[in-house]
A and B are shown apart, each in its own frame.
Chain A
Amino acid sequence: MRSTNMLAGAAAFAALATAAAADPLDIRVRGYVEPELQAFVESGNVSGQRRWNASVATEVSFESFWDNSNQWIVVKPFARLDLRDGNRSHADMREAKYARAIDNWEFRIGIDKVFWGVTEAVHLVDIINQSDFVESIDGEEKLGQPMVMVSTVQDFGTLTGYLLPFFRERTFPGRKGRPAFDIPVDDNQTLYESGAKEHHVDFALRYANTFDIWDVGVSYFQGTNRNPLLLPGLDAGGNPVLVPFYAQANRVSTDVQATSGAWLYKFEGFWQEQLNEQHLQATGGIEYTFYGIFDTPSDVGVVAEYVWDDRGANPQNPFANDMFMALRWTPNDAASTAVLAGATVDLDTQALGFSIEAERRFGDDYFVSLEGRFFANVPRTDPLFSYSDDSFLQLRIARYF
């Protein structure tokens, strides 16, 4: 289990913040326990990798609001126990924050999660939190980020500043973990550009506003890039490993969405300077929903997005010239059934990725989700080649309380 000192720190913080509150607190406890089964289509090409895996995850949220809901504390620990992979057995404090709203100002201190962006396939501008990569390779699961945040809503828009005093390393699967790179990532050898390493103080600023049908965000980030370069190296036993290297980056980004009738038009892009090189990445596309098809309550949504990197095909970014298409079906039933099927094509390497996610509620407290990810036609030159033998199906059954 990792991140235990982080958990202890957060718990101490939570205790302090609780003690600071004058009134006896009304604490609301919610959460889930979620067993998971994974089945892999092929045997792994690394010894120790198995065809199936089981694990269980839990997340509990302790919330307390007072002062007419203008002050609140949220503490939300998460943990997973994995049968095969020691790295995937991990605990993380997703949130442990004290927040206060005063008129049109909001302050937060502690561990929190922040999302920036509008697109569906990749999240280019979202940079505050590190990806909890062992949870999901789509990068949508995040580690808690220590921060001080100040935000104000003004006539000219919403302005938010973030001070990020501690950096979180990306989680990577261990030797027995799947899906994983064929050469394991060795985070005992993690390298940083900054001498301050994970104590480098990062900084971010964001402006967001709505202009009629337009929702616009412009952000600036300066600090340790969340996305590491993976350098070839050797471990103590002389086996080849990948060593994460976290560079310092300056990044200016924008995200824009126009909402017009049943059409959503989306764009995200950034300019970044890192290791004396500058580059651009962008993604954009459309989402259209056919509401109430065939006079039923069902909706069918279509998502089409393109992802681009001005460096062209490169080992650091599997999505340099890729097209993403997806269909989403929501019957709008009492069980909140939803099915999303998507395909990604790398226009440079013709590598294909397919995904299907289906979910629904059973009773009032059970939520079941089935996820499949399949890789096909991935050439050796594609950064995703390592995953090409890791196609899998995953079933999760969450019990909420």
Chain B
Amino acid sequence: MPIRILSGSVGFALAAMLALPVSAEPVALPDDPEAKGRAIAEETDRRNRGFGDSRASMHMILENAYGETSTRELRSMTLEKPNPDEGDWTLNVFDKPRDVDGTALLTHARILDPDDQWMYLPAVKRVKRISSVNKSGPFMGSEFAFEDFSSTEIDKYGYKWLRDEACPEPVADRTCHVTERTPLYEHSGYTRQIAWTDTTDYQPRKIEYYDRKDELLKTLALTEYNLHEGKFWRAHDLYMQNVVTGKSTRLTWESFEFGTGLTQNDFSTNALQRAR
């Protein structure tokens, strides 16, 4: 499951104790390339199931082709929706840049339909329902598009396994499944994505994004994986490079917390106005 950026894990100790030890034990995959591609995504998804809710802090450094940088900071909360027909709920609250301090974005994700999304503008205390068809638009001026952040529910894509090969650096000693994913939802900026999934832990190591003309647009490197709650892998460093413009964004995660007791009440439009 690629950029499961906005997710977390189960909090209670019991769940952690019952969790399978992480191992390289082989996963039985079908031979048909399409079925195999989907099975790889399902395995990634299975390994992330049951995280319940999570909180984390995000730091982004945007760099343009001339090396000039600007920073973004936000805090993110996620509520897992166990029903596979429903997407997870997320609430992002911005700290920096300071002129958008307190601005918050609430997303109730769906699978193929557009997500329900509200924006809170603290200067005027206004909650605005916003259109969510802007999947391909840049997130806060970064090289990440909104769709790169949305929770990667399995049914959002069609899959095709391409090959197995050595994983990209810094884990070149491992083997990766290389899978092509085709967005099935409307308004995607991509014709397809190619994902390198580590066969040892089923975490994505690299993703290539192809634009609407099917030309390579961006590459994402996912590194600094940490295991949380003994069960859930999170990449703490995501480096997105736009190969067309030369711009890049480095996104780092810190302070992951799991099972913090968040409920649906914390993801209402009321909560949007008090999120901190």
Binding site for B on A (CB under 8 A): 30, 32, 63, 65, 68-69, 72, 99, 101, 103-104, 106, 113-115, 117-118, 140, 151, 153, 158, 208, 210, 215, 257, 259, 261-264, 289, 291-292, 295, 297, 299, 332-336, 361, 363-365, 367, 398, 400-401
Q: A264 touching B131 by the CB < 8 A rule? A: yes
Given A72-B276, A99-B274, A106-B274, A210:B269 Cβ within 8 A: yes
Is B97 on the interface with A (CB-CB < 8 A)? yes
Chain A residues with CB below 8 A from B212, complex form: 295
Smallest beta-carbon distance B136→chain A, Å: 6
CA distance A257 to B151 in the complex (A): 26
Other A-B pairs beyond A291-B133, A335-B70, A364-B96, 10, CB < 8 Å:
A114-B125, A115-B126, A259-B131, A262-B134, A291-B187, A299-B134, A334-B70, A336-B140, A361-B99, A400-B98
Q: Specify which chain B residues have a CB less than 8 angstroms from the CB of A113 in the assembled complex.
A: 125
| B129 close to A153 (CB less than 8 A) | no
**Is B191 engaged at the interface, CB distance under 8 Å to the other chain?**
no
With A30-B98, A398-B99 known to touch, is A63 a contact of B276 (CB < 8 Å)?
Answer: yes
Answer yes or no: B238 CB below 8 A from chain A CBs: no
Complex: A261 Cα to B186 Cα, angstroms? 10
Q: Shortest Cβ distance from A64 into chain B, in angstroms?
A: 10
In the complex, what residue of chain B is closest to A337 when comparing beta carbons? Answer: B141
Choose one: B141, B142, B268; the contact of A335 (CB below 8 Å): B141
Question: In the complex the two chains form, is A261's CB within 8 Å of B131's CB?
Answer: yes
B residues contacting A by CB (< 8 A) are 62, 64, 70-71, 96-101, 114, 116, 124-131, 133-134, 136-138, 140-142, 187, 189, 212, 261, 265, 268-271, 274, 276
- Which residue on chain B has the smallest CB distance to residue A114? B125
Instruction: State which of B64, B101, B114 has its C-beta within 8 Å of the C-beta of A334.
Output: B64
Given A69-B276, A99-B274, A361-B99, CB of A336 within 8 Å of CB of B130: no
B114–A101 contact, CB under 8 A? Answer: no
Residue contacts A-B, CB under 8 angstroms, 22 given: A65-B276, A103-B265, A104-B265, A115-B127, A140-B124, A153-B265, A158-B269, A263-B131, A264-B131, A291-B137, A292-B134, A295-B212, A297-B137, A297-B138, A332-B141, A334-B64, A336-B99, A336-B100, A363-B70, A364-B70, A364-B97, A365-B98
Most buried by A among B64, B125, B136, B269: B125
Given contacts A210-B116, A365-B98, contact A332 B70 (CB under 8 A): no
User: Do B116 and A106 have beta carbons less than 8 Å apart?
Assistant: no
Q: How far apart are A132's CB and chain B's nearest CB, in angstroms?
A: 12
Residues of A within 8 A of B124 (CB): 115, 140
Whole-angstrom distance between the Cβ of A125 and the nearest chain B Cβ? 12
Residues from chain A with a CB closer than 8 A to the CB of B140 are 336
Which residues on the A side are within 8 Å of B128 (C-beta)?
118
A257–B129 contact, CB under 8 A?
Answer: yes
Q: Which residues of chain B are near A114, meaning CB under 8 Å?
A: 125
Give bound CA distance, A259 to B100, whole Å. Answer: 24
**A65-B276, A153-B270, A261-B114 known; A289+B141 contact, CB < 8 A:** no
Give the complex CA separation of A264 and B132 in angstroms.
Answer: 11
Residue of A nearest to B268 (CB): A153
Q: What is the distance, in angstroms, from B268's C-beta to the closest C-beta of chain A? A: 5
Q: How far is the CB of B251 from chain A (nearest CB, A)?
A: 14
Report B-chain residues with C-beta under 8 Å of the C-beta of A289: 131, 134
> Is A292 a contact of B265 with CB atoms below 8 Å?
no
Q: How far is the CB of A316 from chain B (nearest CB, A)?
A: 24
Closest to A291 in B: B134
B137 A365 Cβ-Cβ under 8 A: no
Name the distance in Å between B197's Cβ and chain A's nearest Cβ.
Answer: 29
Question: Nearest chain-A residue to B141 (Cβ)?
Answer: A334
B270 touches A151 (CB 8 A): yes
Which residues on the A side are within 8 Å of B99 (C-beta)?
Answer: 32, 336, 361, 367, 398, 400
Check B138 against A332 for contact (C-beta < 8 Å). Answer: yes
| CA of A257 to CA of B137, assembled, Å | 23
